[in-house]
Amino acid sequence: MNNEHYLIHKADYISHIDDKFQLFMMLQGLTNLVSKLPPTEKNIPAIALAKHHRNESEKMFKTWGIPRSYMLFGSEADLTELMENELIAPEDAGYYPCDDECDFCPCNCGCCCETEDEYEEDDEDNDDEYIAELIGELTTFIHSIFGDNVSVHIVVE
């Protein structure tokens, strides 16, 4: 993903952690039951597969970094270190809280964030500079795709 940034709600992140843990525990329970089957000619492949899946799921679970204390007690405080390692604050990604009068929000929610390059609608002198900057960025983007031999014409009615 080339270090792209995405915003995720805390409740969704915790739900994702809980789902991973629940799936891990379900697989562990199934593999435990299968491994207790009597080793007959028909059960040996299932027992071997269960042992393999148990070992692989344990390896995967260790890479997830979910603390055992969270598994036992379910306290969100136990996820602090994991969240610090995996998540980035919106401010660190270039988003800042809007003021109450903000109408320009990149995620169109109207209240949660704003980029560093805030556009001030009240300042008419900055309109031309802002549009020129946007056109320059668009031109650079188009040239990066199609090459420098492409001309960009923008008609404003």
Is the pTM higher than 0.85? The answer reads: no
- Kindly tell me the number of DSSP H helices and DSSP E strands found in the chain: 5, 2
Residue 55 and residue 36 share a domain: yes
Residue 121 and residue 71 share a domain: no
- Find the length of the chain: 157
pLDDT band for position 138 (cuts 50, 70, 90) = confident
Which residue carries 């929000």 as its tokens? 105
What CA dihedral angle connects 105, 106, 112 and 113, to 10 degrees? Answer: -100
pLDDT at 89 over 50: yes
Q: Report whether 26 contacts 18 (CB < 8 A).
A: no
3-class state of residue 96 by DSSP: strand
Q: Tell me whether residue 20 is in a domain.
A: yes
To 5 degrees, how large is the angle CA 126–CA 127–CA 130? 80
Residue range of the domain that includes 96: 90-146
Q: Tell me whether residue 51 is in a domain.
A: yes
Contacts of 55 (CB under 8 A, 6+ apart): none
| Phi, psi (rounded to 5 degrees) for 146 | -105, -10
Mean per-residue pLDDT, 105-116: 52
3-class state of residue 67 by DSSP: coil
Q: Of 68, 86, 104, which closes a domain?
A: 86
